[in-house]
Copies of this chain bind each other. A is one copy, B any other.
Amino acid sequence: MSSGRSSLPTLQALPQGDDHLREDCTASRHAYQGRFLQIRQDDVRLPDGSTAFREYIVHPGAVMVVPLLDDGRLVMERQYRYPTHRAYLEFPAGKLDAGEPGIACGVRELFEETGFQAAEWAYAGELHNAIAYSDERIEIWFARGLVAGERQLDAGEFLDVFVATQDELSGWIADGTVTDAKTLIALLWLQQWRAGRWALTWKPASAWDDGR
C-alpha cells in the first residue's frame, strides 16, 4: 500500500489509442425485437485473445432541448415514466426518426410537446446515457427566442409544461427531486455556458439543417 498522492499516470502518459482495450466482434445475432426495443448479442475477442459475450440495446438516438425564455427562465416538463412508476421533471426530448437530423428532431419535439418555436438554436454536445448496454446517444440542443403556440401532443401522450428558474432546477437536483440524467446534464451546460466557460454558437434552425 502506498499513499493517496498516487503515482497514477495522467491520460497523456497512457498508451495512445484504444488498441490495448478494443473488443472485436466475431459473431453478431439479433436476439430480441420488441415494439420499441431491439437487442443484439455479440461474441467478441478481448485484448488478450480470450472471448466474451456482449448484449446490448440498439437505439436510434434521441435529442434533448433546453428551451430558454427571454427572461432567462427554463421551459420544463413533468411526465410520467412508466419503467420506474413515477413522474419526472425534465427537459423536452424525443427519439430520432430514421434518418432524421438532430436539429429537425429538436424543432419537432419542442413544438409538439410545448408549442414553442425558437428563433435560435445552439448545439451543445452529445451524451451517452447507458454505455454498458445501449448504443443510445442524446444530442443536447439549446433553444432561445421562443414564441408560444399550441402544442400537438401525440395520442396517448400526457405531460405538464411549466417554467422554472435555474436556481429552482439546481435546488431540485440537490434535494433529489430531479434525477433524470439528461436534465442534470442540462444544468451542467447552463452553468458552464452562463459562466462563460463553455461556448454555444446560435443559429436559426434552418442554418443547422446541413449538419453541424
Which residues of A approach B to under 8 Å, CB–CB? 1-11, 13-15, 18, 20-23, 31-32, 34-37, 39, 41-42, 44, 46-48, 50, 52-57, 69-71, 75-76, 78-84, 86-90, 95, 116, 125-138, 145-149, 155-156, 158-164, 168, 170, 173-174, 176, 179-182, 184-185, 187-188, 191-192, 197-199
Contact = CB atoms under 8 A, between A and B. Distances in A.
Contacts of A57: 37, 57, 83, 133
A170 B192 contact: yes
A140 B50 CA distance: 33
Nearest to A71: B5
B10 A36 contact: no
27 contacts: A3-B70, A3-B147, A5-B70, A6-B148, A8-B148, A11-B78, A11-B162, A11-B168, A13-B162, A14-B78, A18-B80, A21-B159, A21-B160, A34-B55, A46-B156, A50-B156, A84-B128, A88-B128, A126-B179, A129-B129, A130-B134, A174-B192, A184-B184, A184-B185, A185-B185, A185-B188, A187-B188
A55 B36 contact: yes
Contacts of A81: 128, 131-132
Copies of this chain, tallied across the complex: 2
Contact of A23 (B37, B41, B82, B197): B82
A87 B14 CA distance: 13
Could you tell me the dominant secondary structure of chain A's interface residues? mixed
A155 B84 CA distance: 33
Given A4-B70, A185-B188, A36 B133 contact: yes
A44 to B, nearest CB: 6
Contacts of A9: 162-163
B46 A39 contact: no
B156 A11 contact: no
Contacts of A7: 148
A76 B8 CA distance: 10
